[in-house]
Amino acid sequence: MCLAVPLKLIEIKGNEAIAESMGMRRSVRVDFIDDPKPGDYVIVHAGFAIERLPEEQALEDIGAWEELRDAL
């Protein structure tokens, strides 16, 4: 099973992007996302953005991850 934190696309150059969430930044590929734009939230698997998420859902998911992190 794969658990993923939504990442927000910050910068895009071709098929590569910088994405961030919860203070973490990483390089991801956006080959599978139609017309990716900075500000989009995505789910990343194995370094590839595989799905765009609505902002409301992404923020809710990030909030749940932050609650879990703070409980540990």
pTM: 0.90
- 4 pLDDT band, cuts 50/70/90, is confident
pLDDT tens digits for range 12-63: 999 999 999 999 999 999 999 999 999 999 999 999 999 999 999 999 999 9
* Domains of the chain by residue range: 7-71
C-alpha radius of gyration, the chain, whole number = 12
> Burial level of 34, CB count in 10 A (0-12/13-18/19+)?
exposed
Instruction: State which fold the 7-71 domain adopts.
Output: SH3 type barrels. (2.30.30)
Per the CB < 8 A criterion, the answer to whether 4 and 43 are in contact is yes
